[in-house]
Structure 1
Amino acid sequence: MTSIGFLGLGIMGKAMAINLIKAGFDVTVWNRNPEKATELVVLGAKQGTSPKSVAAHCDITFAMVSDPAAALAICQGPEGVAAGIGEGRGYIDMSTVDDSTSQMIADAITNAGGRFLEAPVSGTKKPAEDGTLIILAAGDKTLYDEALPAFDVMGKMSPFLGEVGQGASMKLVVNMMMGGMLSIFSEGMSLGQKAGLDGEKLLEVIAAGAIANPMFKGKGAMLLAEDYTVSFPLKHMQKDMRLAVALGDKLNLSLPTAATANEAFKQAKKAGFSDEDIAAVYKTVK
């Protein structure tokens, strides 16, 4: 069976790596804080000493880190993935980054003789745990074909989108829309309750109409309970909104609604809610 490396064991990466281990893959894990690997080693994973060592010993290495800076950091340098990838082995970065960062990583990997696929995911903690993520893959088609058995364990859908950059752009579009929806949802829930409407009744009416969707149902319950247990950290959504607006600038496309929603998430970060769930943007409105 294909040997798998997995770099980054945060909220998402840990759940994804555990699913691969439980599915019987030969998995080697690495995290900047090595203690986060302990639980996975107990489950049967090996523990790598660096991104370089993992990439050098695994057929395909996956990465799931927080932002473009972290994605570049584990790829570059003397202990980075590119230093260990070697001829023919594969690297799949599942982090949410901009298309330019993804291309830089692709260039570093291919120049070192490896194959590269970007594969950011749509979904948060529970879909990661349940293996129902949507995986947005783009890059080397041969690597995509080889990675499909692993994708099938981690996700419910993994379309191949073409050249490097297309997966990154798809993810930013999806998260930009999610952030905008959550921002207006928070304003609507706040306005309704300020006007004397019952929060539960608001959610019932929303769920019965044309704007019903799973996010409103899940986050609505969190807002009413004032429970901001993290499935998607707010700081990461603000990063994605920022990258989406920057992509619009690059393409000379005006995105006024996204830019306004980005400001709402920036305000929430400033208020100290960075490490809470994205639903905490509601606290800046209510």
Structure 2
Amino acid sequence: MPTAAPGATKIGFLGIGIMGNAMAANLIKDGYDVTVWNRSADKCAALQAAGAKLAGTPAEVVSSCDITLAMLSDPEACLAVAMGPDGVASAMKAGKGYVDVSTVDAATAQEVAAAVRGAGGAYLEAPVSGSKGPAEQGQLIFLSAGDRQLFDAASPLLEVMGKASFYLGEVGAGANMKLVVNMIMGSMMVSYAEGLNLAKQAGLQQADLVEVIKLGAIACPMFALKGPSMIEGKYPPAFPLKHQQKDMRLALALGDEHAQQLPLAAAANELYKRARAAGYSDADFSAVMDAVASRK
């Protein structure tokens, strides 16, 4: 499979949400011929204005492109887009590649891989570490596994969209790594929210806590970035809370699979579930702050 290059490789992108829009935009800016698809076609308008072509189905995208990427919301969406009517597998053939950058469980990745490979194509899972800001800045981290030939061919694309790419081996390894990373991140956010709320209850200035943490051994870019808006009770979505809770759920299932107790993650997941029930599904995952602060 030839290495991707602007002007020579036609790229497809399925799923134009917060992340997909930014990632596809960076490919267009780098000179790639990009064809996009989204269930709600109106979300593709900005990319069309930037030069992207619009397709009516995932199959149309795959048919016209050499490498197709997908950033979809959950396992159900990934399976439907890959294997449903007019899906990816229906148009896949030898010489084409499918790179799924969604966050799903290993079993879903393996099922999609089997469908793509069964149709003659190459498959790579490459879930990303990073949210809206890194996606816009081309600073994502790709956790890849699957067909090494496709990883090598798609590496220039990953370099446009990210700052690092890891090849982790067989399909499923990328999904598992992403779930572990997001489980840690989700648990950290709950701990941070608890600390901010406890500081307030104890009569301390929350802004002082943000600064103390920023200067100490537990300094963390996520804390520094999210702290000020959490104090204000504002949660503009960079990584929607519903997706964080989905990842916590999948990580807990992975723990069950390996008989690994995850008591901290399980407790954090309950707070994300409470936040979803309170109407914060589409807010940033830092909105778990309100679930922590609630005394109901």
Question: What secondary structure, in the 3-state scheme, does the structure 2 residue paired with 1:137 have?
Answer: strand
Q: Percent identity?
A: 56
One-letter amino acid matched to 2:114: D
In the other structure, the counterpart of 2:3 is none
1:77 Cα deviation after fit: 2.2
Question: Hey, which bits of structure 1, 4+ residues long, moved more than 2 A?
Answer: none
> Does residue 172 of the first structure (1) align with residue 179 of the second (2)?
yes
**Aligned equivalents of 1:159, 1:16: Cα separation in 2:** 18
**Aligned equivalents of 2:59, 2:292: Cα separation in 1:** 45
State the aligned residue count: 286
Of 164, 168, 176, the match for 1:161: 168
One-letter amino acid matched to 1:184: S
> Does residue 257 of the first structure (1) align with residue 264 of the second (2)?
yes
1:39 Cα deviation after fit: 1.2
1:109 Cα deviation after fit: 0.3
TM-score under structure 2 normalisation?
A: 0.95
Superposed counterparts of 1:168-207, under 5 Å: 168-207=175-214
In the other structure, the counterpart of 2:150 is 143
1:226 Cα deviation after fit: 1.6
1:88 Cα deviation after fit: 2.2
**Aligned equivalents of 1:281, 1:227: Cα separation in 2:** 11
What RMSD over aligned residues (CA atoms) do the two structures have, in Å? 0.7
In the other structure, the counterpart of 2:54 is 47
**Aligned equivalents of 1:106, 1:192: Cα separation in 2:** 48
**Aligned equivalents of 2:292, 2:49: Cα separation in 1:** 44
**Aligned equivalents of 1:10, 1:147: Cα separation in 2:** 21
**Any gaps of 5 or more consecutive residues in structure 1?**
none
> Does residue 81 of the first structure (1) align with residue 112 of the second (2)?
no
Q: Deviations over 1:141-161 (max 9, x none)?
A: 000001011100000001111
In the other structure, the counterpart of 2:115 is 108
Question: What secondary structure, in the 3-state scheme, does the structure 2 residue paired with 1:236 have?
Answer: helix
**Aligned equivalents of 2:219, 2:50: Cα separation in 1:** 39
**Aligned equivalents of 1:229, 1:118: Cα separation in 2:** 28
In the other structure, the counterpart of 1:69 is 76
Q: Deviations over 1:213-234 (max 9, x none)?
A: 0011111111112211100000
In the other structure, the counterpart of 1:56 is 63
In the other structure, the counterpart of 2:4 is none
**Aligned equivalents of 2:171, 2:247: Cα separation in 1:** 18
One-letter amino acid matched to 1:198: Q
**Any gaps of 5 or more consecutive residues in structure 2?**
1-7
Q: Which moved more, 1:23-32 or 1:218-227?
A: 218-227
**Aligned equivalents of 2:122, 2:194: Cα separation in 1:** 45
One-letter amino acid matched to 2:105: D
Question: What secondary structure, in the 3-state scheme, does the structure 2 residue paired with 1:221 have?
Answer: helix
Question: What secondary structure, in the 3-state scheme, does the structure 1 residue paired with 2:124 have?
Answer: strand
One-letter amino acid matched to 1:87: A
TM-score under structure 1 normalisation?
A: 0.99
1:13 Cα deviation after fit: 0.1
Question: What secondary structure, in the 3-state scheme, does the structure 2 residue paired with 1:6 have?
Answer: strand
**Aligned equivalents of 1:76, 1:204: Cα separation in 2:** 49
Question: What secondary structure, in the 3-state scheme, does the structure 2 residue paired with 1:109 have?
Answer: helix
